[in-house]
Structure 1
Amino acid sequence: MSVRHSLLAILDRGPCYGYQLRAEFDRRTGSTWPLNVGQIYNTLDRLERDGLVAKGDTDERGHVYYETTDAGSAEVAEWLGSPVVRGAGTRDELAVKLAVAATLPGVDAAAIIQTQREAASVRLYELRRRAYPGSAPDGPEQLAFSLVVDSMICHAEAELRWLDHAEQRLAQHPEHALALELATERPRRGRPAAAR
């Protein structure tokens, strides 16, 4: 998720100081992605360094207001008008964990799947309870919150479907066929031994 672009887009609506920006981010995302104030100010410093925001007025309490520059507004428009590019490779810890576990002799990959399925089912149940705490969303804050939670629900459902798929794939192979011993051929590159 691009915290940088999200904060920049909020600032493009009008000047804000750090805590105010954090509150606006929480309001728009239903506090589903908590940001600490240090992260906000580090991001503001980088945005200022990159010429996308500038410091504006300071109020009587000492709050420094930031505002977007023309370049910042253009960056917001480009971000909002572009698709989110997903990485080509997987950095999904669960997929990597299961792939490695399935190739280790003596590891029960089915038990790993079952443990993950139970955790994902609990998460899905909790998300569904949070989704619409009364009725369908009727205001902009409720709609923003529901969009984020709906996305989380879809990801949890997809994880459960993938676990079912992985379980079926693993069931098609005898356990001994999946075990990989360490390769006997050693890579030619590596860290040289330390000189003594």
Structure 2
Amino acid sequence: MSVRQSLLAILDQGPCYGYQLRAEFDRRTGSTWPLNVGQIYNTLERLERDGLVEKGDVDEQGHVYWQITAAGRADVSAWLQSPVARAQGTRDELAIKLAVAATLPGVDVSAVIRRQRSASLAQLEELTSARYTGADPDGPEHLAWSLVVDSMIFAAEAALRWLDRVEHRLDAHPQHALRLELSTERPKRGRPAKAPA
């Protein structure tokens, strides 16, 4: 998720100081992605370096208000009009863990899957029983919160379906056929060749 773009989009609504930006981000995401103030200020400094925001007025409490520049507005517009490109490679720890575990001798991969399924089911239960605690259940904050929570619910459901598929595929192979011994071939130096697209 692009914290950078989200903060820029909020600043496109008007000048804000750091804590205010964090509060606005929380309101718009249902507090499902906690940001610390240090992260906000580091992001603002990079945005300023890139010419997308600038420091504005300072109030009587010493809050520095940041404001978006014309280049920042163009950046926000481009972000909002562009589809999100999902990563094609996987850096998903669970996928890597199961792929490695399935090829190691002596690992009970079914037990690994059972533990993960149990944790995923607990997460799904927690998400489906979550209730909005804001003041207006028909307001924009509730809508923002529910969009993010729905996304998390669908991701948890997809993870459970994927675990079912993994288990089915592993059941179709005898355990000894999955074992992958260490290669005796010496690897070449340098980066591995990219897989064909």
TM-score class, shorter-chain normalisation, is over 0.9
Query: In the alignment, what sits opposite 1:3?
Result: 3
Distance 2:38 2:86 in 1: 27
Distance 2:100 2:67 in 1: 48
Query: In the alignment, what sits opposite 1:75?
Result: 75
Identity of aligned residues (%): 74
Distance 1:17 1:5 in 2: 16
Query: In the alignment, what sits opposite 1:128?
Result: 128
Q: Secondary structure at the match of 1:111?
A: helix
Query: In the alignment, what sits opposite 2:100?
Result: 100
Task: Give CA-to-partner distance per residue, 1:72-107, whole Å, 9 cap, x none.
Answer: 000000000000001111111100100000000110
How far apart are 1:188 and its partner, in Å? 3.0
Query: In the alignment, what sits opposite 2:16?
Result: 16
Q: What's the TM-score once normalised by structure 1's chain length? A: 0.93
* Count of residue correspondences: 189
Distance 2:98 2:9 in 1: 38
Q: Secondary structure at the match of 1:56?
A: strand
- For 1:96, the aligned partner's letter is I
Query: In the alignment, what sits opposite 1:193?
Result: none
How far apart are 1:142 and its partner, in Å? 0.2
Asked if 1:37 corresponds to 2:37, the answer is: yes
How far apart are 1:189 and its partner, in Å? 2.0
How far apart are 1:66 and its partner, in Å? 0.3
Distance 1:75 1:126 in 2: 36
Return structure 1 stretches of 4+ with deviation > 4 angstroms.
Answer: 131-134
Structure 2: state its 5+ residue gaps. Answer: 191-197
Distance 2:25 2:132 in 1: 20
- For 2:107, the aligned partner's letter is V
RMSD of the TM alignment (CA)? 1.5
Query: In the alignment, what sits opposite 1:61?
Result: 61
Kept after mapping to 2: 8 A contact 1:26/1:32 = yes
Distance 1:139 1:111 in 2: 44
Task: Give CA-to-partner distance per residue, 1:1-56, whole Å, 9 cap, x none.
Answer: 00000000000000000000000000111110000000000000000000000100
Kept after mapping to 2: 8 A contact 1:137/1:146 = no
- For 1:68, the aligned partner's letter is I
Change in 2 beyond 3 A, CA 1:133/1:46? closer
Kept after mapping to 2: 8 A contact 1:131/1:149 = no
Distance 2:17 2:51 in 1: 17
- For 2:77, the aligned partner's letter is A
Q: Secondary structure at the match of 2:130?
A: helix
- For 1:61, the aligned partner's letter is Q
